[in-house]
Structure 1
Amino acid sequence: MRCKDEQEILTLISCGNPDGLKSLFDLYYKPLCIFAMNFLDSFGESEDIVQDLFVKFWEKYKDKQFEGSLRAYFFTAVRHNCAKVLKLKNRYNLQLEEEYIDEPVYSEEEFEGECRKLYAEIARLPEQCRKVFELIVLKDMKYKEVADFLGLSVNTVKTHFARALKQLRSSLQILLVFLLRK
């Protein structure tokens, strides 16, 4: 029965009769919007894609014959249009990320000041914690290497490092910026 309905709709559309477009819209609008929602977050965007598709179809076939399956045509077109929207969104999001990544969090003077504060905080650590912290963070050594270098067990190195981090927790944001900048 659907094929007969589709054939009648196509005949109306090819004659330029708007009732054909209305029938086509009534038949496929909701299923196409639901299908588009599988790809997009917004029902509004889904509706826009489907409505644009009906307009383009009408403009293209209102005075000529369409060959093929309406169902296959519309669902394929919705899938492709959703992919285009997602691609554009992804490109826009990447541009935003690049803009934010390129902007420095701190000016050079602020960064230097924060580094001085960080070094002052590190200098206030107990001697063994400070040595362990400096070797792991500043010299990029592994726990085992630090343990061998200082003649300590790996567990002792881990404990000293944990204590150093705990004491520096108030300056963690500064530390994070420092480590990322390194």
Structure 2
Amino acid sequence: MRCKDEQEILTLISCGNPDGLKSLFDLYYKPLCIFAMNFLDSFGESEDIVQDLFVKFWEKYKDKQFEGSLRAYFFTAVRHNCAKVLKLKNRYNLQLEEEYIEEPVYSEEEFEGECRKLYAEIARLPEQCRKVFELIVLKDMKYKEVADFLGLSVNTVKTHFARALKQLRSSLQILLVFLLRK
């Protein structure tokens, strides 16, 4: 029964009939949102991903024929789009490798020496990246607060912070963990 329904829906969509999109939406919207919730924390994000997928599908196939399984296409696309969202979210968060989850034991001198190295690396950052990094990490300010304080856009602040993290991660990943835990 579903194949016939899907075929009728695809015919309507390929003719540019919006009723086909509505039928497709009614058939798959809730199951896709629930599926997306397996990957994301927010139902709102899940809905956004699914809605965007329907819009893109309509734009791509309203004038041409889709071949394949709608179910497989939509569930695969939702999984990939959720992965993209998670990747973007994690870009600004330090992701600890399993090997760093256990806290190593350092003597006070070793810890102080490593902290000095970290502060030296922070001092080597380009000036704007350093300012942004220090305000976010050391002063615990939000992106918006840093943007207002420095007279920059929020996206510029995010870019500088990402650059600073990338540079520091390359040689000092474990030291950042100590600094961020303070």
* TM-score for the superposition, normalised by structure 1: 0.54
The runs of at least 4 aligned residues of structure 1 exceeding 4 Å deviation read: 95-182
**C-alpha contact 1:53 1:78 (8 A) present in aligned 2:** yes
Note the C-alpha offset of 1:93: 1.7
Structure 2 unmatched runs, 5+: none
**C-alpha contact 1:13 1:62 (8 A) present in aligned 2:** yes
1:127-166 deviation line (CA, Å, top 9, x unaligned): 9999999999999999999999999999999999999999
Rounded Cα–Cα distance in structure 2 between residues aligned with 1:134 and 1:101: 24
Note the C-alpha offset of 1:105: 20
Note the C-alpha offset of 1:94: 3.1
**C-alpha contact 1:125 1:164 (8 A) present in aligned 2:** yes
SS at match of 1:36: helix
1:23-42 deviation line (CA, Å, top 9, x unaligned): 00000000000000000000
**C-alpha contact 2:92 2:162 (8 A) present in aligned 1:** no
1:62-112 deviation line (CA, Å, top 9, x unaligned): 000000000000000000000000000010223999999999999999999
Structure 1 residues 25, 106: closer, same or farther in 2, change over 3 A?
A: same
Structure 1 residues 94, 21: closer, same or farther in 2, change over 3 A?
A: same
Structure 1 unmatched runs, 5+: none
Structure 1 residues 91, 8: closer, same or farther in 2, change over 3 A?
A: same
Which is worse superposed, 5-14 or 86-95? 86-95
Which is worse superposed, 2-11 or 84-93? 84-93
**C-alpha contact 1:14 1:66 (8 A) present in aligned 2:** yes
Structure 1 residues 105, 11: closer, same or farther in 2, change over 3 A?
A: same
Give the root-mean-square deviation of aligned CA atoms.
16.7
SS at match of 1:94: coil
Which is worse superposed, 48-57 or 116-125? 116-125
**C-alpha contact 1:115 1:174 (8 A) present in aligned 2:** no
Aligned-pair identity (%): 99
Which is worse superposed, 160-169 or 15-24? 160-169
**C-alpha contact 2:91 2:162 (8 A) present in aligned 1:** no
Which is worse superposed, 51-60 or 171-180? 171-180
Corresponding residue of 1:168: 168
**C-alpha contact 1:37 1:46 (8 A) present in aligned 2:** yes
Which is worse superposed, 86-95 or 55-64? 86-95
Figure out how many residues of one structure are paired with residues of the other and give that number.
182
Which is worse superposed, 99-108 or 138-147? 138-147
Which is worse superposed, 137-146 or 46-55? 137-146
* TM-score for the superposition, normalised by structure 2: 0.54
Structure 1 residues 107, 54: closer, same or farther in 2, change over 3 A?
A: farther
Structure 1 residues 100, 13: closer, same or farther in 2, change over 3 A?
A: same
Pair member with larger Rg: 1
Which is worse superposed, 96-105 or 75-84? 96-105
SS at match of 2:95: helix
Rounded Cα–Cα distance in structure 2 between residues aligned with 1:55 and 1:156: 30
**C-alpha contact 2:25 2:54 (8 A) present in aligned 1:** yes
